Amino acid sequence: MLSEERFERILEILKNNNTVTVTELVDELDTSESTIRRDLNYLDKQKKLKKIHGGAKALKTIYDGKDDEVVIRQALNVKDKLSIAKYAAKLIKENDCVYIDAGTTTELMIDYITENNAIYITNGIAHAKKLIQKKCNVYILGGELKLATEAIVGIEAIDSLKKYNFTKGFFGTNGIHKDSGFTTPDIQEALVKREAFNKSNEAYILADESKFDHIAAITFADIDKGIIITTELEDKDIKKYTEILEVNKR
């Protein structure tokens, strides 16, 4: 198969599936792995696709319209989330006043927390329970319970946040985009995130690579206002716009 034919076929596959692995392309195009990697490098330089670890994805922004249930999100990208969570937990120091946002990666982070001489505030039901079990000093926001994310939201939660000044805040996000910033689908949850984010001296976004180039309905913070903790990125372009801490996978 000529290179031009392979390029066309690769882009056609991405148009239908959004992402593809090198292994899948080797099987589909009946060619060598080295040839596929060379093709992906070329198409990436031509701005026809975006290379990612182990494959490629289509050059298009993905729009997220709703939150998946917690049990669904807990099963996604677990290896990356564990690496991110472990790194984030080590950032907490004695006498910190810490906000921990509801989310699956922030919940995993609690498993690695060793600092008991800090104050923890959260809007996550599961998060509060795990912190108590670790004998941490923990406060939970008041307000309405959102079932999908098991988060406390609403005006009461926002009012609860106004009295705090966090040394560090740790947040989940549905999307990260250079123009739209950090986004989430639900307005109620976005407003709580925004208030807590703005009350944090250092605001960390815990996000695996699947969150990049995604946009949800509501922006809760601009891209340059948070420090992103993620695993090693194939596409380094986002580093032009904000600080990123890349961690090694477990």
CA separation (Å) from 28 to 56, 121, 149, 191?
A: 14, 50, 38, 46
pLDDT at 51: 86
Mean pLDDT of the chain: 90
Average of per-residue pLDDT across 34-60: 86
Tell me: the pLDDT tens digits for 210-250?
899 888 999 999 999 999 999 988 777 889 999 999 998 65
pLDDT of residue 25: 95
CA angle 12, 18, 19 (to 5 degrees): 100
Sign of the torsion formed by the C-alpha atoms of 32, 33, 35 and 36: positive
pTM of the model: 0.75
Specify the higher pLDDT residue, 194 or 146: 194
What pLDDT was estimated at residue 60?
63
| Per-residue pLDDT, 71 | 47
Residues 68-77: pLDDT tens digits?
555 455 555 6
Burial 163-177 (b: 16+ CB within 10 A, else e): ebebbbbbbbbbbbb
18 pLDDT exceeds 90? no
Q: How far is CA 67 from CA 60, 81, 120, 244, in A?
A: 20, 18, 25, 25
User: Tell me, what's the pLDDT at 19?
Assistant: 85
49 has pLDDT over 70: yes
| Cβ–Cβ under 8 Å, residues 39 and 3 | yes
